[in-house]
Structure 1
Amino acid sequence: MQPTSNTSTAVKAPATLPEANESLNTREMRRILSSSFIGSAIEYYDFILYATAASLVFGHVFFANLGDGFALFASFATLAAGYVARPLGGVVFGHFGDRIGRKKMLVLSMLIMGVATMIIGMLPPTAQIGMAAPIALVILRLVQGVAVGGEWGGAALMALEHAPKTKRGFATSFANAGGPAGAILATLVVSAVSAATGDQFLEWGWRIPFLLSAVLIVVGMVIRLKVTESPMFAKLEDASEKRKMPLLDVLRNHPKAVVLALVATMSFYCCQGLLTVWGVSVAVENGVDRSGVLNWKAAGAVMTLIVTFWAARMSDRVGRRKMLVIGGIIGIVLAYPLIVLLDNGTLWGFAVAIVVGNGLVQGLLYGPIGAFIAEQFPTHVRYTGASLAYQGASVLGAGFTPMIATGLVIAAGGGTALVAVFWALVIAAGTAAVLMTRESHRAEIG
């Protein structure tokens, strides 16, 4: 989809302003890409660490008085709270990112995320401080959601707006790839700590991965402070094309772009919520070894990482739409067999489901989606528009998916067929949304 004519005109910049790099293999571009990748990986380490703990820990620590089934549901509800807050973070950080710059918002989002994660690691259980514990947990999860809501837009746009037109998809995928990289790191750390602390994991061992976030945040801040501002945003500073209210501009002039991009993005988020959160809890509850589940979850994330980069590079060659449609069709076909494997109570079943579903299907959808979304909006509202679509999809596609899946299983008396139908329908809707847009991989987006 092309931006409407009254907002899509690129502004000529003075010769002294920075221009997008012609190659990804320059010192500055390597710094930009590493900042997008490592920064996103650290923030998603914190965010996905919570998701893993929600599957394995929080029901026992903060909701033990509710009984197993409802404790898990309540734990997933706090997980959803973070996703609900992500659009708010996208709007707030997008507003200031479109007005004062992408870089400042990236540094701030990382700082907020790190502090919230460390406090979660020090939070006393309900048995010690009563209802104050789950209330504080929800508040901190909301803070995490706001922070990560501002992260993706800035990281993706810094890469995309520095990159040449023919490599925008691949460059933007470095920000996307931070997600599975953070998942790998979080899962391996939890797995290692679980193995090392054994029976003490639910007592105090689970806190260690949260407290380790302090070290990662310092590393990420050092890297982010060294990058330069987006050249496309720098042009707007002289052109006076920044808007006082980017959100109103987006809703007034680009509502269709927001809706279609949001629905398209829900496909891969649904894969993430079903497989890496709900699926983990199902496997462990069915008696599958916890460490084995976590290790295969990490293996699935490695596969996601590889396929994400490949799919993004292919989208620069054959187009975003084609790659997203291919991923959607594969996801629809495999939805039912993958859910059956996920629920069969064996480690090999979980392994196949997570590697194929999380690795292949989600990777194919994840690779092109960052550039696809960003290319729907002009520079002066791109941070706000892209974040609104992406983070809105995170709420519907991932935040509520574990709760919905749990509810569908309860409604079906323990069966999982309805979960497979739900998954296939979400992917089908996303594929239809992609088909309703125009190809954008060769479009001018300045």
Structure 2
Amino acid sequence: MPRTAHETRTTTSARRAAIAAFLGSTLEYYDFYLYAVAAALIFDRLFFPSGNAAVGLALSFATFGVAYVARPVGGIVMSHFGDRIGRRRVLMITLAIMGTSSFAVGLLPTYGSVGILAPILLVTARLAQGFSAGAELAGATTLTLEHAPDRHRSFFTSWASTGCSAGLLLATLVFIPVAALPDAQMLAWGWRIPFLSSVVVFAIAYWVRTRLDEPPEFEKQQETDAVARVPGVEVLRTQPTAVLRVVLMTLMASSQTIFSFFSLSYASETAGVGKSPMLIVNAVTLGLSIAVLPLAASLSDRIGRKPTLLIGAVGSLLSLFLFFWFITTGSIVLISLGAFLFMSVLYSFWSAVYPVYFAELFATPVRYSGMAIGQQIGLVLVGFAPVIGALLQRPGPYGWLPVAAFTGVCIGIAAIAVWTGPETYDVPVDRLGRANLPADAAEPPSAGSDARTRSAASPE
């Protein structure tokens, strides 16, 4: 059956929004995780030379975690304006903050040059990164969802999540030649190149976002004067259960930070696996996940969000234990297999779908705020997962078990939150979360709406 003109316009705008979300998320997470890779490999020597390798590494990981303290602040502040004045305008601001702060990291003096001022400046830049990242994924997902056709919402919004993986992949690839440099050159100037080169990605992403329009659903809210006065307060008053569900589901992300960053230091320091081979393994598995993410998202458009998310949660729990066991063998082949099962396949079933599910739990006037607030509160714990892992780690070949157990608890909590939640894939976008809004914040449903959407429209 040929598409109508309305369907063609919707698909075209959705495709444009998906590309913008992909590029913007790529930049945000390239910059954000570039710092994390540097924290795992070199920042302890550049900014925290304590004389004790374990203490220096813990302090370096802690600066990675402080960004997750800033993320809720950024999420609350920027999502307020995203629900009030527009998704696109706020996303332009978050992009500029991230690009500027990451470029600044590449120019920072080290501890050997200015002493204690060096880690202070580093933490300041990291807080700015966290502030920006706190609003990015929620904004990109919200904007893309509101442009997308109802029956393909997960596919189009998955490109924001795919951008996150692409950014992490790009950060890993850039650091492979840096890690291969002799220590003297890497510490003197090599580590700066990845941060300074982020300006190229920023310029491309910024140009693409200037060509976007605000979503029709958001413009309709503004035209009918249905914009919430204080969206953050409104969503906590009308949809507190949905916010809590997002908080609990977000704990699943601890498995990714443990996989991507803690495993680097664990493999090199405990199992004797070189840093460069581990970076290559991470890069390959992340590259493969980029192909899986849209497929998993399309599956959730057919069978539902909950089944797809639960496949990802249960599979990730099992494969993470397998991955750590393979690390202890020192075999790159086995490590690659474990990484492929966890990151490329099973975790992708989760990461492809959770953004759209988070956004679908909320109504349009408070969607950006609800997703951003819930997700960023949950990420406070997630950000410190590598630090918790370093503290839980024990000596010996099975010293990884407490770390894997901690991560498994986080995954289990997220899975229960999904299991007890509503199914949203078959609810039209203008009905999502509507049952929980006050009468003056949403129009009543049309008389001809499908009966099956009325029972699923509320995430409470």
Name the CA distance, whole Å, in 2 between partners of 1:21 and 1:314: 24
Task: Specify the code of the residue in structure 1 equivalent to 2:322.
Answer: P
State whether residues 142 and 368 of structure 2, in contact with CA within 8 Å, keep that contact through their aligned partners in structure 1.
yes
| Deviation at residue 66 of structure 1 after TM alignment | 4.3
Kept in 2: contact 1:289–1:347 (CA 8 A) = no
- Out of 385, 401, 421, which is 2:405 matched to? 421
Confirm or deny that 1:439 pairs with 2:423: yes
Contact 1:24 1:30 (8 Å CA) reproduced:
no
1:231 is displaced (CA, Å) by 0.9
Q: Among 59, 64, 72, which residue is 1:74 paired with?
A: 59
Cα deviation for residue 251 of structure 1 reads: 1.1
- Match for residue 188 of structure 1? 173
Q: How many residues align?
A: 426
Comparing 288-297 and 311-320, the one that deviates more = 288-297
Q: Is residue 48 of structure 2 the alignment partner of residue 50 of structure 1? A: no
Instruction: Provide the C-alpha distance between the structure 1 equivalents of 2:44 and 2:334, rounded to a whole number of angstroms.
Output: 25
Q: Is the 8 A contact 1:332 1:427 kept in 2?
A: yes
Give deviations 1:221-248, integer Å, cap 9, x for gaps.
Answer: 1010001111111001111111221111
- Report the CA distance between 1:154 and its aligned residue: 1.3
C-alpha contact (below 8 Å) 1:335/1:421 kept by paired residues = no
- Partner in structure 2 of residue 8 of structure 1: none
Which stretch of the first structure deviates more once superposed, 303-312 or 150-159?
A: 303-312
Distance 2:309 2:146 in 1: 22
Q: What residue number does 2:24 align with? A: 39
**Which one of 5, 13, 16 corresponds to residue 28 of structure 1?**
13
Which of 133, 152, 156 is equivalent to 1:171? Answer: 156
Structure 1 residues 289-321: Cα deviation after superposition (integer angstroms, max 9, x where no partner) = 222111111112112222221111100000000
CA-CA distance at 1:187 after TM superposition: 0.8
Give me the whole-angstrom Cα distance separating, in 1, the residues matched to 2:375 and 2:361: 12
Match of 2:434 in 1: none
Measure the CA separation in 1 of the matches of 2:101 and 2:107: 10
Whole-angstrom CA distance in 2 between matches of 1:71 and 1:356: 32
**Contact 2:310 2:418 (8 Å CA) reproduced:** yes
In the alignment, structure 1 residue 409 sits paired with structure 2 residue 393: yes
Contact 1:20 1:231 in 2 (8 A): no
Whether the 8 Å contact between 1:124 and 1:133 is mirrored in structure 2 is yes
Task: Tell me what 2:327 maps to.
Answer: 342
- Note if contact 1:412-1:418 (Cα within 8 Å) is conserved in structure 2: no
Structure 2: tracts of 5 or more residues without a match? 431-460
Tell me which amino acid in the other structure corresponds to 1:442: D
Which residue identity lines up with residue 336 of structure 1 in the other structure?
F
Instruction: Give the equivalent residue in structure 1 for 2:82.
Output: 97
CA contact (8 A) 1:243 1:380 kept: yes
The whole-number CA distance in structure 1 between the counterparts of 2:9 and 2:160 is: 14
The 10-residue stretch of structure 1 (322-331 or 142-151) with the greater mean CA deviation from structure 2: 322-331
Contact 1:20 1:164 survives alignment (8 Å)? no
TM-fit CA distance, 1:341: 1.7
| Aligned AA (1:432) | I
Bigger relative contact order (CA 8 A; separation at least 6): 1
Q: Output aligned runs, 1:142-157, within 5 Å.
A: 142-157=127-142
CA distance in 1, matches of 2:210, 2:335: 41
TM-score, length of structure 2 as denominator length: 0.89
| Separation in structure 2 between the aligned mates of residue 136 and residue 348 of structure 1, nearest angstrom | 40
Alignment partner of 1:329 out of 300, 309, 314: 314
Identity of aligned residues (%): 36
Q: Offset of 1:338 from its aligned partner?
A: 1.9
The within-5 A match list for 1:212-223 is: 212-223=197-208
Letter in 1 for 2:268: V
In 2: Cα distance, 1:178 partner to 1:105 partner: 18
Encode CA deviations 1:302-358: one digit per residue, 9 max, x unaligned: 122222211111000000000111112212333322222234434334323322222
Q: Which residue of 2 aligns with 1:281?
A: 265
Amino acid at match of 1:272: Q
One of 216, 231, 251 as aligned partner of 1:246: 231
- 2:287 corresponds in structure 1 to 302
Aligned counterparts of 2:134 and 2:6: Cα–Cα separation in 1? 27
Distance 1:200 1:31, change over 3 A: same
Q: Name the residue aligned to 1:387.
A: 372
Q: Per-residue deviation at 1:426?
A: 1.2
Q: Among 56, 59, 69, which residue is 2:44 paired with?
A: 59
Does structure 2 conserve the Cα–Cα contact (< 8 Å) formed by 1:315 and 1:368? yes
Query: Following the alignment from structure 1 to structure 2, what is the Cα–Cα distance between the partners of residues 66 and 55?
Result: 17
Secondary structure of 1:22 counterpart: helix
Contact 1:23 1:163 in 2 (8 A): no
Shift in Å, 1:20: 11
C-alpha distance in 2 between matches for 1:86 and 1:344? 37
Q: CA deviation at 1:146?
A: 0.5
User: What is the match of residue 160 of structure 1?
Assistant: 145
**1:39 Cα deviation after fit:** 1.0
1:81 alignment partner AA: V
Give, in whole Å, the separation in 1 of the partners of 2:6 and 2:266. 47
Using the alignment, how far apart are the partners of 1:275 and 1:55 within structure 2? 12
The 1:57–1:365 alpha-carbon spacing in structure 2 relative to 1, beyond 3 Å, is: same
Q: Which amino acid aligns with 2:142?
A: L
Q: Is the 8 A contact 2:248 2:413 kept in 1?
A: yes
| 8 A Cα contact 1:311 1:323, kept in partner | yes
Q: 1:79 to 1:21 in 2, by over 3 A?
A: farther
- 5+ residue gaps in structure 1? 1-18
The range that moved more, 382-391 or 193-202, is 193-202
Amino acid at match of 1:260: R
| Partner residue, 2:354 | 369
Q: Which moves more between the two structures, 241-250 or 287-296? A: 287-296
